[in-house]
Homo-oligomer: A and B are copies of this chain.
Amino acid sequence: MNNIVEDEYVGKGQNGIVQPLLTDLYQITMAYAYWKSGKRNATAVFDLYFRKNPFHGEFTIFAGLEECLKFLCKFHYSDSDIQYLRKILPTSTEDEFFRYLQSLTVEDVTLYSVPEGTVVFPREPLLRVEGPLIIVQILETTLLNLINYASLMSTNAARFRLAAGQLKLYEFGLRRAQGPDGGLSASKYSYIGGFDGTSNVLAGKLYNIPVKGTHAHSYVTSYCCLPELVLTQLSPKSGGEKREFLQHAMKWREQLMSFFQVPTSQANDGELAAFVSFAIAFPDGFMALVDTYDVVKSGLFNFCSVGLALLDFGYTPIGIRLDSGDLAYLSNIARSCFKKIADNFKVPSFEKLLIMASNDINEETILSLNEQGHSIDAFGIGTHLVTCQKQPALGGVFKMVEIDGQPRIKLSHDVEKVTIPGRKETFRLYGGEGYALIDILQRTVEEPPQENHRVLCRHPFQESKRAYVTPVKVEKLLTLYWSKGKICQKLPNMQEIRERVKSSLRILRSDIKRSLNPTPYKVSCLWI
């Protein structure tokens, strides 16, 4: 790997605030104490891992690695950083230390990681970072910040994907996200986790994610009557002169409302004006928000009238969006209305119109809609997705497990908080049907498990729990990504990471992935 790779990634616009000072002050005070007390040359191994899967689930998607590597590529304290640190550290801090900080590099850091997009489990190292104690310790907060939310978000998106099956999923959460970057990261990692696109234009531009959007309620309310329409004509798709489009849509509306026996006075004219103007602007992209006034008595009729007029002009309408009310009921009403029109007016394409729903939807809403029966084809998901409302943080931690070759442990009254000491590998053992059976943590000095050989697997904290497993395939999860100051793997693009999420989830038995009371996946140790 040469420098071009790094330049490419560094250049690809990582948020400028990801910089060495985006850290907790105690990393710097510890650095000084280590430096001062002669631990400058100590080498350490740290594991980055989490203790519990999020969202009451039994799996997690690992993400954020590329951002970590970009951070390493440009790691350097600027003059103004040093100036600021001089200001906030005690005046007794030795001058030499600041010179040391300014010359600090990540040349001697080695970073192993699980590939981005892999399904992972509690207590196994996602990153193993090795090198001079001071610099590895200093990386803690920034690495955690970059991994925690990325993994949480990708996992959340993957759960929505599992709940929604083949339906389309779009991320619509920018306005409710935790800050500008919260919004941008949400778009990126929800795409990685299995979403089909986003409404966030900047995310589309930066990450090449499909971008979706039509109009808001305000667009509909901006029209209050038909005479407001300045433009009422449209050229047919086949070309030729502009023809009257509004009149045509209005004729359709009369026909439809008489067919469905609803008085035409019920349909809102401002809404029709809005739909007509939108259709004239996007004749091949006509999708309408139908719940500004009344879905059943106004929105659907106005949409169908404009849609049928578009068909007559040679264009293909796309569908509707529902943003309030009983989504199961309204989507079924809409589908039935489309079907009746398709049958009665001989427009078969009408049956397949897209129905999108987007009001405060979470994983449970989708599961409950599935149970009730609905006719929704696509979901636009905002708040619950981007803020991970059910659990807004992944509790990733970064713990020292070895120093100068000696394993270290942090004891705790809470057995779950005890660190598993030593430099470790994780192996994933597969059974005959292609499913993963168990992950095994073991010291790097131990013999790796062999395919088709019996392996004794023990519970990390409960001596009595143990079992033999004979894997047909063994996968080593940690790979070297950073060494000698360089990224040393070809990094996958977003599409490849997305594919890895999919294939990684396929190797999990479905009882581990289910939403209610999932079965825990086992993670075992060979020692203790």
Which chain A residues have a beta carbon within 8 Å of chain B's beta carbons? 15-19, 21-30, 32-34, 36-39, 42, 44, 46, 80-81, 84-85, 88, 90, 92, 133, 137, 140-141, 144-146, 148-150, 172, 174-186, 199-202, 204-205, 211-219, 221-222, 224, 229-231, 277-278, 280-285, 292-293, 324-325, 383, 386-389, 392-396, 398-400, 403, 406, 408-414, 417
Contact = CB atoms under 8 A, between A and B. Distances in A.
Contacts of A29: 213-215, 281-282, 285
Nearest to A185: B179
Contact of A28 (B176, B213, B393, B411): B213
A218 B324 contact: no
A174 B202 contact: no
A180 B181 contact: yes
A423 to B, nearest CB: 15
Contacts of A27: 213
Contacts of A15: 15-17, 179-181
A30 B185 CA distance: 25
A178 B179 contact: yes
A284 B36 contact: no
Contacts of A133: 222
Interface of A is mostly: mixed
Contacts of A175: 24, 140-141, 144-145, 148, 396
A417 B324 contact: yes
A282 to B, nearest CB: 6
Given A24-B172, A183-B22, A284-B92, A219 B178 contact: no
Contact of A411 (B17, B216, B292): B292
A100 to B, nearest CB: 13
B393 A202 contact: no
B216 A30 contact: yes
A372 B324 CA distance: 45
Nearest to A221: B408
B174 A141 contact: yes
Leading 6 A-B pairs by shortest Cβ distance: A25-B213, A181-B181, A38-B230, A26-B213, A387-B392, A144-B175
Contacts of A212: 25
A198 B467 CA distance: 47
Contact of A22 (B38, B174, B394, B396): B174
Contacts of A231: 36-38
A18 B180 contact: yes
A24 B174 contact: yes
A328 B198 CA distance: 46
A77 to B, nearest CB: 11
Given A24-B174, A33-B215, A412-B324, A400 B221 contact: yes
